[in-house]
């Protein structure tokens, strides 16, 4: 299977309702992460690096920051003559209530694409993954549907996780929705699948005629009727499904092995470029085990933190285990621990705030503390 014969189809609003703090003013896929990236950067970079030339991003609401970030797709090498990046918002009074209705309402876009296959991917998964392995696996097994799964513990934000039971050839024997032993390591299908375009639309139309609006049930009911296979993602993979998942992933980035796996120079992660001066470190600054983006001014102490572009840290401030988004100003003699600070926040001098690793405190965008 040629990778340029696959249409990328990304759901930007995956689990918006599970991260209300971060998705109040943006869709999940445009949540800032790792200091200089957004969640959407990982899925788009994976598709571009795998040779996919045409990508549609389904955006239900709050998609202004998403459109501003991805632009024409040039940062991801998706704005050439034979490549395209399209943001697909609701139109004509049609709503995107669930995956089935969404795909049906966008059937014109899918039908008019020149690609024969569709790769559906969620917008909340962080991984550096080569989809060419999935394409070859799908072709070699003559599969109708290939699901991508990760073996591990289901993230806490998934109310109805989907797990798969596969045989030694990768063929799916059973699909379980919300299994009881969800705290054990399982093969979790996290929403990424490859399917032929015509088959996808046929299954969606059939489901609507039966008033079956749960895409998980549609996949489950296809076992035995279609050739359903599953391919394991053995690379680092983190699904952001709660504020705790978001915090944990950013803290994971302090580990060198995680950074080496995610930011593989052979499969780079692309993002929108913002030109800033290098970060400046004052005479009173102390920085330890932290990720610092460009444009920051640091005069205090920073430890185990992720700082986005343009952050200012005043003298005497002590910041530990925090995620600070861009253009935030933190005053002098402040003491912050286990805090997630959104964009353009001002924290005045002398303020003291403390959360815990299992309960980080969130400060909303443009707040003044």
* Planar angle of CA 84, 89, 91, nearest 5 degrees: 120
Q: What is the domain partition of the chain in residue ranges?
A: 3-262, 280-363
DSSP 3-state assignment of 304? coil
Q: Which two tokens stand for residue 220?
A: 């489950």
CATH code for the part of the protein at 3-262: 3.90.550.10
> Which candidate, 82, 56, 91, places its Cα nearest to that of 70?
56
Contact indicator for 204, 100 with CB cutoff of 8 Å:
yes
CA–CA separation, 233 vs 146, rounded Å? Answer: 12
- The fourth-level CATH superfamily of domain 280-363 is Hexapeptide repeat proteins (2.160.10.10)
Beta strands in 45-144 (DSSP E): 54-58, 84-88, 117-122, 125-127
Question: Tell me: the pLDDT tens digits for 142-152?
Answer: 999 999 999 98
Q: How far is CA 336 from the centre of its chain?
A: 27
CA–CA separation, 361 vs 321, rounded Å? Answer: 11
Which residues on neighbouring strands pair with residue 152, listed in sequence order?
186
| Tokens 């003699």, located at residue | 333
CA–CA separation, 48 vs 131, rounded Å? Answer: 10
| Helices then strands, each counted (H, E), the chain | 9, 28
Phi, psi dihedrals of residue 340, rounded to the nearest 5°: -105, 115
User: pLDDT tens digits for the chain (369 residues)?
Assistant: 788 899 999 999 888 888 999 998 899 999 999 999 999 999 999 999 999 999 999 988 888 999 999 998 999 999 877 779 999 988 766 667 788 888 998 999 999 999 999 999 999 999 999 999 999 999 999 999 999 999 988 887 787 888 999 999 999 999 998 887 556 788 999 989 999 999 999 999 999 998 888 888 899 999 989 999 999 999 999 999 899 999 999 999 999 999 999 999 999 999 998 888 999 999 999 999 999 999 999 999 999 999 999 999 999 999 999 999 999 999 999 999 999 999 999 999 999 999 999 999 999 999 999
Longest dimension (CA), the chain: 69
Question: Tell me: the pLDDT tens digits for 260-292?
Answer: 999 999 999 999 988 889 999 999 999 999 999
Contact indicator for 231, 143 with CB cutoff of 8 Å:
no
CA–CA separation, 164 vs 274, rounded Å? Answer: 41
């Amino acid at each position: 299977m040629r990778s340029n014969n696959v249409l990328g189809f990304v759901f930007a609003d995956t689990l918006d309702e599970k991260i209300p703090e971060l998705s109040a003013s943006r869709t999940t896929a445009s949540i800032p992460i790792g200091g200089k990236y957004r969640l959407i950067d990982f899925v788009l970079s994976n598709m571009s690096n795998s040779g996919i030339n045409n990508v549609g991003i389904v955006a239900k609401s709050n998609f202004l920051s998403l459109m501003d970030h991805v632009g024409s797709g040039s940062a991801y090498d998706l704005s050439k003559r034979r490549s395209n990046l399209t943001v697909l918002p609701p139109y004509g009074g049609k709503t995107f209530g669930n995956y089935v209705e969404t795909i049906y309402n966008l059937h014109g876009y899918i039908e008019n694409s020149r690609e024969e296959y569709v790769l559906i991917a969620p917008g909340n998964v962080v991984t550096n993954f080569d989809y060419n392995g999935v394409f070859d696996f799908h072709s070699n097994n003559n599969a109708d549907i290939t699901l991508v799964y990760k073996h591990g513990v289901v993230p806490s934000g998934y109310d109805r996780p989907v797990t798969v039971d596969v045989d030694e050839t990768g063929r799916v024997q059973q699909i379980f929705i919300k299994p009881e032993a969800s705290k054990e390591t399982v093969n979790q299908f996290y929403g990424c699948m490859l399917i032929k375009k015509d088959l996808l639309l046929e299954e969606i139309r059939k489901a609507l005629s039966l008033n079956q609006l749960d895409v998980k049930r549609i996949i489950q009911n296809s076992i035995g009727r279609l050739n359903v296979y599953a391919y394991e993602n053995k690379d680092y993979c983190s699904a952001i499904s709660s504020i705790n998942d978001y915090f944990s992933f950013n803290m994971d980035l302090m580990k060198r092995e995680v950074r080496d796996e995610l930011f593989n120079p052979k499969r780079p992660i692309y993002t929108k470029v913002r030109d800033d001066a290098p970060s400046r470190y004052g005479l009173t600054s102390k920085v330890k085990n932290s990720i610092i983006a460009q444009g920051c001014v640091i005069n205090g102490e920073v430890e185990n933190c992720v700082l986005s572009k343009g952050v200012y840290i005043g003298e005497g401030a002590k910041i530990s285990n925090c995620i600070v988004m861009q253009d935030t100003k933190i005053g002098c003699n402040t003491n912050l621990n286990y805090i997630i600070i959104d964009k353009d926040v001002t924290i005045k001098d002398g303020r003291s705030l403390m959360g815990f690793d299992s309960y980080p405190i969130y400060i909303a965008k443009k707040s003044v503390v």
